[in-house]
Structure 1
Amino acid sequence: MKYLHFIVNPISGKGHNTLEQTELLNLFPSEQYKIAVSYTERKGHAHEIALNAINEGAHCLIACGGDGTVNEVASAIVGTRVLLGIIPMGSGNGLASNLGIQGSLTQILTKLKAMEALEIDCGHVNGHYFFSNTGLGIDAEIIKKYEQGGSRKLLAYISAALKASLSFRYYRTIVRIDNIENEINPLMLFVSNSNEMGYGMSLTPQAKLNDSYLDLVVIPRLSFVQKLLLGLHVLNRSFPKFNKAQSLRMQSLFIHQPERIYTDIQIDGEYHSLKTNKINIEILRAALKVVV
């Protein structure tokens, strides 16, 4: 008997997310499947539920929410044989979109039932996993202001980006990319495993989830007008035409900001304050199996 545990973030995206037991039982009959549905109540709760479900012998954990919910559930799965399923219910849904997980709830559940899994890489940053992307600089500042705003709509994200561009402060940054060291003063350091970061937008359209590489984007100091131009390219899905950015593939990255004590960072679209000024990022190859 297969044990499937659905972990639902009720406030992801438009909010009021639920799963009807009757629809689940129609597709997953009780004589063949053990079905459980849990609802998260706070940040970090999805991770706790996932760990408990793994200890109870779950075969597949299905994250029902946005990239933040997916991150919490998937982070519990890394290093186990448990499969990850995704039902996109968030605002951005970057990882689900990259994996081609879309359609009606019934269509997604039907594909889940087939249990066809794809091995993907994941990133590791100072004890945290990321499956879509992570970022320092204005990227983290935007997410910080986005979360403070309370709304999860695209307009709220644009508003947060404008506020961040006005208040952003540059810091001297030492980077070591695959053992090659350099000193820069960046607006953004963006590291991605996925070709999409949500809302259909991308800074790394060539990135692949299972190529054993992470894609790094370095954006230098920009004028306010150049920042606006950058924003327009991102919104118009034309970022590759923004010639101020440098893009490269790598497997490890060390970042040191000596003028700081703590580091603001976003991990799969969620803001974190790391109690250090030294950041280590690396790829973990084929670390997760996702039902697609």
Structure 2
Amino acid sequence: MSKEKKYFFIVNPTANNGQALAVWQQLQSFLDAEQIGYSFAVSKSITDVEELARAAAQKEFVVVGVGGDGTLSRIAGALAGTRATLGLIPAGTGNDFARTYQIPADPQAAMQIILAGHTVNLDLGIVNGRYFYNAVGSGLDAAVVADANLTFKKIGGSFGYLLALLRQLIFYRPQRIKITVNDEVHIVKAWLVTVANACYFGSGMKIAPLADPEDGLLDVIVVLDVHRLNFLRLFPRVYRGQHIFHPAVRVWRGTKIAVEAESPLAVQVDGDLFGQTPLSVTMKAAVVQLLVPPQHKTTDSCEE
């Protein structure tokens, strides 16, 4: 891919409490110094992000998102099934999807990956009509996102998320949930249910270490009801992906997932709140061309 390729950047200026704009300004200086042709737009809303991405896809640009997982996920969904190529400049709080492909937070290094031009065919999930590229969660993780947005919104960032997590670890109660994976029904009482396309969520937690966003399957991770102290002992293992070997954790795989709860549970999609259960989740295989590091395999980061 040459420097003459048409690059269109979509910038979310509010990502990471406004830090994404500084990332973009740093990247602009690099693009100008290297005389790389580009155009860009600063988004005003999520709807704006999607409309900008669709318009750029019609022109077959390389569409590059500058923002957090919520922004980049929306861009990926807007490009699904088109001939456009997606590049990522991680500029959010967690940048979890970028971890799966080892795309660095340094904008110049991330741009070098885009310039190299190596692509993979990325799968996307669809939950209740919305595309996602990383993970959908209901239960404890969604309660943490809700608490971070409502109670700790002024603090924001990773620290606000940590405070919300600590609070929910004290007050959250496991819920009775019906999970259908393809045609197999499981009724459980659980702390959380995550449907993952990639392996990380929650700012570096390796929730689904066996997930591969190019294999045409979704991984379902369930943490069953255990005593709170046992859950607290289990929790640190998620950062290494070792929790899946605990007897209270279930891992299933499929292409069609349904999640229902006795009482409606909050839902997070790629780090953003997204209504409540019930959930209908399906897989769309190989629908986006994603720029990734040359020779990279998802197992390099997920199973290390």
- 1:53 paired with 2:56, answer yes
**187, 205, 223: which one aligns with 1:219:** 223
The 5-angstrom pairing of residues 108-127 of structure 1 reads 108-127=110-129
Matching residue of 2:106:
104
Matching residue of 2:31:
24
Matching residue of 2:252:
248
User: Match for 1:176: what amino acid?
Assistant: T
Q: Deviations over 1:19-53 (max 9, x none)?
A: 34443234354xxx4x2222233444322322333
Once the 2 structures are TM-superposed, how far is the Cα of residue 230 of structure 1 from its aligned partner?
Answer: 3.1
The TM-score normalised by the length of structure 1 is 0.87
Once the 2 structures are TM-superposed, how far is the Cα of residue 81 of structure 1 from its aligned partner?
Answer: 1.0
State the alpha-carbon separation in 2 of the partners of residues 178 and 36 from structure 1. 43
The DSSP-based 3-state class of the residue aligned with 2:212 is coil
State the alpha-carbon separation in 2 of the partners of residues 236 and 180 from structure 1. 29
- How has the CA–CA distance of structure 1 residues 143 and 198 changed in structure 2, closer, same or farther, with 3 Å as cutoff? closer
Once the 2 structures are TM-superposed, how far is the Cα of residue 102 of structure 1 from its aligned partner?
Answer: 1.4
Give the conservation status (yes or no) of the 8 Å contact 1:122–1:286. Answer: yes
Once the 2 structures are TM-superposed, how far is the Cα of residue 118 of structure 1 from its aligned partner?
Answer: 0.9
The TM-score normalised by the length of structure 2 is 0.84
Unpaired runs of 5+ in structure 2? 293-304
State the alpha-carbon separation in 2 of the partners of residues 215 and 252 from structure 1. 10
**26, 30, 40: which one aligns with 1:37:** 40
Give the conservation status (yes or no) of the 8 Å contact 1:93–1:198. Answer: no
User: Match for 1:137: what amino acid?
Assistant: G
Once the 2 structures are TM-superposed, how far is the Cα of residue 65 of structure 1 from its aligned partner?
Answer: 1.3
User: Match for 1:281: what amino acid?
Assistant: V
Give the conservation status (yes or no) of the 8 Å contact 1:4–1:58. Answer: no
User: Match for 2:132: what amino acid?
Assistant: F
The 5-angstrom pairing of residues 1-292 of structure 1 reads 2-13=5-16, 15-16=18-19, 17-18=21-22, 19-20=24-25, 21-29=28-36, 33=37, 35-55=38-58, 57-102=59-104, 104-148=106-150, 149-150=152-153, 151-235=155-239, 238-260=242-264, 263-274=265-276, 277-292=277-292
User: How many residues in Structure 1 have an aligned counterpart in Structure 2?
Assistant: 283
RMSD: 2.3
The DSSP-based 3-state class of the residue aligned with 2:190 is coil
Once the 2 structures are TM-superposed, how far is the Cα of residue 254 of structure 1 from its aligned partner?
Answer: 1.4
User: Match for 2:205: what amino acid?
Assistant: M
The DSSP-based 3-state class of the residue aligned with 1:172 is strand
Give the conservation status (yes or no) of the 8 Å contact 2:91–2:105. Answer: no
Give the conservation status (yes or no) of the 8 Å contact 2:197–2:213. Answer: yes
State the alpha-carbon separation in 1 of the partners of residues 228 and 105 from structure 2. 39
- How has the CA–CA distance of structure 1 residues 109 and 216 changed in structure 2, closer, same or farther, with 3 Å as cutoff? same
